[in-house]
Amino acid sequence: MTTSNYATERETTEGKVFTVTGGDWDEVVSGTDPINDERIVVNMGPQHPSTHGVLRLVLELEGETVREARSVIGYLHTGIEKNLEYRNWVQGSTFVTRMDYLAPLFNETAYALAVEKLLGITDDITERATTIRVLMMELNRVSSHLVWLATTAMELGAINMMLYGFREREYVLDIFETITGLRMNHAYVRPGGVAQDVPDDAIRKIRDFLQLMPKRLKEYENLLSGQPIWLERTQHVAVLDVTACMALGVTGPVLRSAGLAWDLRKTMPYCGYETYEFDVPTHTDGDVWGRYLVRVAEIRESLKLIEQALDRLKPGPVMVSDKKIAWPAQLAIGVDGMGNSLEHVAKIMGQSMESLIHHFKLVTEGFRVPPGQVYVGIESPRGELGVHAVSDGGTRPYRVHYREPSFVNLQALPAMAEGGLIADVIAGGASLDPVMGGCDR
């Protein structure tokens, strides 16, 4: 009798059901004879201190050398993609922002661009709204890279860098709170534009941040770049060359650290990135050290983009003019603390019954999106973040699927870890910068 190498199946009243597992722990361990080849199986994770997120690694070791590495995911699964099918198109923004929680504004923007493409209103998005999207994404890229730098340094023993990285990230989160009312999970970028305009005090805070950050970046480099232990733990560690990156679908800073200047902001521009002046940092070593250099350089390029976006912020609306699509974008925090200002409610109530009914239908039922399917890719801090959105002509998505860079890039972990030391698994895994909320979603 032969056993199937595939998932077991059984017939039910609902049709054929497949049972997929990640492999039983006892089965994995029994496949190793410790007396014969002196190998042991180590269960690393899932916990934050060891593996950069809720990720489990099953490592087969010979001494301190990793002979086999397996990534086990799914511990943070939220079912967000499935939930989108039961909410209207605008409500989807509230779900997708919670996927990659370190880059919420990228999740929102990719989703909004996909919905706008289905609606055929891509060219109708106002200049101010598009500029604000670029501004917010680049601020978010800086905050995401700061988390990577802080946590990776901590995992390799540079505790001070952890404190400094989060200190500067707090400044960015304060800016986000000033603009959106929230530090994360903003639901700020919506189909048709953005939820509300950028206040003047946020502009001042961003200008101050642009003055502060270059100095702090120099301090980070003084702290790490010449430090012997940092160099020893990062140089020639977890090497992944450009051929391996291409074979595994790896994108983002990991691919650029191997020498390929592939950045969707340059190669397949969106949101007017082709009109901005910035460089795509690369390195050729394809190791942890190269990924560190690329991300620090990317922070500097993002600061350049933020400054250009600020200079382009011309007065104007931040939502499309079509009232059948445009979510109210002139909100203010009211007494309920939820953005329902009495002035705005009074304006809606004081117009006409038709206006009130239309507003009620837009908020409760949502707008209809013509049937079709689109794919939109943007450059997130971790690589290509793609949205495949399908509409059946209703007020809710038929299907929304994300091409999440954390999920794809994790494929590279065994290639980077096997044959190396167990200590380098931490450095290599951290250098991929996986965010498990995006991976599992």
CATH number at residue 99: 1.10.645.10
Per-residue pLDDT tens listing for the chain (441 residues): 445 555 677 788 767 776 656 556 566 656 655 555 577 888 887 765 445 568 888 888 888 888 888 888 888 888 899 999 999 998 899 999 999 889 999 999 999 999 999 999 999 899 999 999 999 999 999 999 999 999 999 888 888 999 999 999 999 999 999 998 888 888 899 998 998 889 889 999 999 999 999 999 999 999 999 889 999 999 998 899 999 999 999 999 999 999 999 999 999 999 999 999 999 999 998 899 999 999 999 999 999 999 999 999 989 888 888 877 876 655 555 555 555 566 666 766 666 677 677 777 888 888 899 999 999 999 999 999 999 999 999 999 999 999 999 999 999 999 998 888 988 888 898 899 888 888 888
Query: The tokens of 36 are what?
Result: 């014969």
Same domain, 114 and 186: yes
Report the alpha-carbon distance of residue 41 to residue 297 in Å, rounded. Answer: 38
Tell me phi and psi for residue 58, to 5 degrees. -105, 115
Contact between 283 and 294 under an 8 Å Cβ cutoff? The reply is yes
Question: Where among 20, 37, 72 does a domain terminate?
Answer: 72
Q: How many structural domains is the chain composed of?
A: 2
Residue 388 lies in a domain: yes
Same domain, 149 and 35: no
Contact between 306 and 135 under an 8 Å Cβ cutoff? The reply is yes
- Number of Cβ within 10 Å of residue 296's Cβ equals 17
Same domain, 32 and 156: no
Question: How far are the Cα atoms of 24, 60, 125, 381 from residue 31, in angstroms, in the given order?
Answer: 11, 11, 58, 39
Residue 295 lies in a domain: yes
Question: Where among 72, 91, 122 does a domain terminate?
Answer: 72
Q: What share of the chain is helix, strand, coil (3-state, %, to 5)?
A: 50, 15, 35
187: which residues sit within 8 A by CB, 6+ positions away? Answer: 93, 94, 97, 108, 195
Supply the range of the domain harboring residue 95. 80-321+367-440
